Amino acid sequence: MPERNRQIVLKRRPNGMPVPEDFAIAEGALPEPGEGEAVLRGIYLSLDPYMRGRISGVRSYARPTELGEVIEGRVVGQVVRSRDPALREGDYAAGGYGWQLYSAVPAGGLQKLDPAEAPISTALGVLGMPGMTAYIGLRDIGQPKAGETVVVAAASGAVGAVAGQLAKRAGARVVGIAGGREKCRYVAEELGFDAAIDHRGDLGPALDRACPQGIDVYFENVGGAVQQAVFPRLNDFARMVMCGMIAEYNDTSPRPGPNLGAVIRKRLRIQGFIVSDQRQSFGEFRAAVAPLVRAGQLKYREDIVEGLEQAPEAFIGLLQGRNFGKLLVRLADDPTR
Amino acid sequence: MPERNRQIVLKRRPNGMPVPEDFAIAEGALPEPGEGEAVLRGIYLSLDPYMRGRISGVRSYARPTELGEVIEGRVVGQVVRSRDPALREGDYAAGGYGWQLYSAVPAGGLQKLDPAEAPISTALGVLGMPGMTAYIGLRDIGQPKAGETVVVAAASGAVGAVAGQLAKRAGARVVGIAGGREKCRYVAEELGFDAAIDHRGDLGPALDRACPQGIDVYFENVGGAVQQAVFPRLNDFARMVMCGMIAEYNDTSPRPGPNLGAVIRKRLRIQGFIVSDQRQSFGEFRAAVAPLVRAGQLKYREDIVEGLEQAPEAFIGLLQGRNFGKLLVRLADDPTR
């Protein structure tokens, strides 16, 4: 165990697409656990699109990261010290904080993990926040019915892959949009979507071919040109599950959106959600999805980069669509693999 | 009773704001009732914003009016001939069709009216489609709660006046937007809204003053500049009841809408509806609202123009916001007044 902590802090607010110089490495003493806290040694750090909002400095549903602060992030790791009876040294848990090797966090915020149940990394992906995002978005807004057509943006990503597979299980025709031929092949062949569309091609005609009955549910992770192509193809009573708009996160001024007249004519429902509002549904989500993952009926893919120092580059790659599957940073060897 | 029918037909599709020359008067024989039909002699014709969509020729949720056809509209009148046992000569009923003096319609589509219960004209306004539109929009989408702030566009209009008063009864703070000082005074003083804003003024600061807690429900009847001013002031979890966008009905190309990123950050719900999808709720609506109208607890105002020939001018005035209250055309004397 090293004597010191290491973290990535926000050096400068990005202007448009982040660059490595917006981040800096800082070293410091190992954190001390307060009463009721545990210190987690990180094994996996999750990189997710929402982090772009946190470092922008814009007040939103969450407090922005201040300059000099460690970047927000969710970590799976191993307890190295505990001042709470519920956790012991050596326990695996999800809920560590930030782009850093060690964090001291309230034990009540940690989710103990049993490596025999599922790989511990899945607590950051298919069985964690991204998987639950897909589940909640479909449960509360998308509500796909058998025979309906569901289009999922960023379909090979951590959220999209789960959303599409769950919609498929609900009996819908599911069409994924992804970037590049390899991801499209994965979506159609491995994840079992009915069709996959490369957003680098001519999206409109491709959507027309893949969705001959129009679109009833759009799971929005992307915004931009994908949203523009999908919107006019929505059917009457269609639902837009507004989950993310990663293609616009680096915009310095907002693009115009669709004219809302169609919302009336077609009785559309466009609704946003934030998964953390639904913490009380975590048990329901796990109960529904964990058995599918264990049985191999719900597939997932991880894209793991090595070492905390790689986090900024990997995060920039995520914003550019360069990752392929749930993006994780390995902070230390995973003793359970 | 005249020997012949008279109607206003669509002569030419309007390009932008309709002009009188887009309409023509036609005369013809009195309609004959088929088996199960009745002939209604119109007393009141309802003029409503949705008609602009019908004459545009664009396929929407309803069939467009063809050139030479009578313009669509809902009529209250008196039965002059009946070939259905449920209706007798002299009965009052709502459900006559079109901008014309007489129409033959299926008796099953007519709603018999008791003039002792409420003025028959109300079946086209506060107790008819516009009132029900307000009721359904709040019931299914707006769902105002006590203490929330509800903003109603076109607040002195047939729909807005009911929406605001019902929201007020639900315990919300209600702010109306209307055109001109006289309408604003009516909204605040007679309808009892908490505040009224003239959309001809500087809307943003006026909304800030009238809605110090932000906006939780926006009942959208207008679009355009009003929507632009309201949208950034919506609170987290706000609902946009998408009912109409009259300010844009004469646009020849659609204006850009709001960027939908805020829908995610604020967990907004933007949902459209068409009251005719909810026909099965008419009894519920009447049971809820008719007693309030009879007791004088829900106020309404009618703007009545005289004579079928005035319909085109009055309709153009409606699109320009010149009416003040529910716009009706008197086709014949009302024997019940």
Per-residue pLDDT of chain B (337 residues; tens, 9 = 90+): 557 999 999 999 999 999 999 999 999 999 999 999 999 999 999 999 999 999 998 777 788 999 999 999 999 999 999 999 999 999 999 999 999 999 999 999 999 999 999 999 999 999 999 999 999 999 999 999 999 999 999 999 999 999 999 999 999 999 999 999 999 999 999 999 999 999 998 999 999 999 999 999 999 999 999 999 999 999 999 999 999 999 999 999 999 999 999 999 999 999 999 999 999 999 999 999 999 999 999 999 999 999 999 999 999 999 999 999 999 999 999 999 8
User: Which architecture does CATH list for B129-276?
Assistant: 3-Layer(aba) Sandwich (3.40)
Q: A176 near A164, Cβ under 8 Å?
A: yes
Give how far Cα B134 sits from Cα of A34, B199, B289, Å.
55, 20, 11
Smallest CA–CA separation between A137 and chain B, in Å?
11
pLDDT of residue B187: 98
**Interface touch A264/B270, C-beta < 8 Å:** no
Say yes or no: do domains B4-124+301-330 and B129-276 share a fold.
no
Cα dihedral angle (B110, B72, B305, B161), rounded to 10 degrees? 80
pTM of the model: 0.96
User: Scanning every residue of chain B, which has its alpha carbon at the shortest distance from the alpha carbon of A257?
Assistant: B259
Pick the CATH number of B4-124+301-330 from 3.10.310.30, 3.90.180.10, 3.40.50.150, 3.40.190.10: 3.90.180.10
Q: How far is A28 from chain B (nearest CA, A)?
A: 34
Give residue-wise pLDDT tens across range A248-265.
Answer: 999 999 999 999 999 999
Dihedral sign (CA B46, B50, B54, B60): negative
Dist CA A233 CA B102 (whole Å): 41
Contacts 24+ apart (CB under 8 A), B9-14: B9/B68, B9/B69, B9/B70, B9/B71, B10/B55, B10/B65, B10/B66, B10/B67, B10/B68, B10/B69, B10/B71, B11/B67, B11/B68, B12/B67, B13/B55, B13/B56, B13/B57, B13/B67, B14/B52, B14/B55, B14/B56, B14/B250
The CATH code that applies to domain A4-125+301-330 is 3.90.180.10
Asked if A259 and B248 come within 8 Å (Cβ–Cβ), the reply is yes
Q: Where are the domains of chain B?
A: 4-124+301-330, 129-276
Of chain A, the percentage scoring pLDDT greater than 90 comes to: 96
Query: Whole-angstrom Cα distance, residue B316 to residue B305?
Result: 13
Give the pLDDT score at A187.
98
CB A268 within 8 A of CB B257: no
Sign, CA torsion A75/A313/A305/A330? negative
Confidence at A61, pLDDT banded by 50, 70, 90: confident
Q: How many CB pairs under 8 A join A and B?
A: 115
**Which chain B residues touch A261 with a CB distance below 8 Å?**
223, 245, 248, 254
**Predicted pLDDT at B1:** 52
Of B53, B242, B269, the CB nearest to A260: B242
Q: Which of A223, A243, A268 is opposite residue B272, by nearest beta carbon?
A: A268
Q: What is the ipTM of this complex?
A: 0.95
Count of CB atoms within 10 A of residue A284's CB? 14
Residue A62 has what pLDDT?
Answer: 81
Q: Express each pLDDT in A162-203 by its tens digit.
A: 999 999 999 999 999 999 999 999 999 999 999 999 999 899
pLDDT at res. A337: 87
Q: Which of A256, A263, A269 sits opposite B256 (nearest CB)?
A: A256
pLDDT per position as a tens digit, A199-246: 998 999 999 999 999 999 999 999 999 999 999 999 999 999 999 999
Helix (H) or strand (E) holding A197: strand A195-198
A289 pLDDT more than 80? yes
| Contacts with A245 from chain B: Cβ below 8 Å | 260-261, 264
Whole-angstrom Cα distance, residue B33 to residue B71?
Answer: 20
The enclosing H or E element of B167 equals helix B158-169
- Using CB atoms, pick whichever of B248, B271, B274 lies closest to residue A269: B271
Beta strands B111-113; B92-97: pairing state = antiparallel
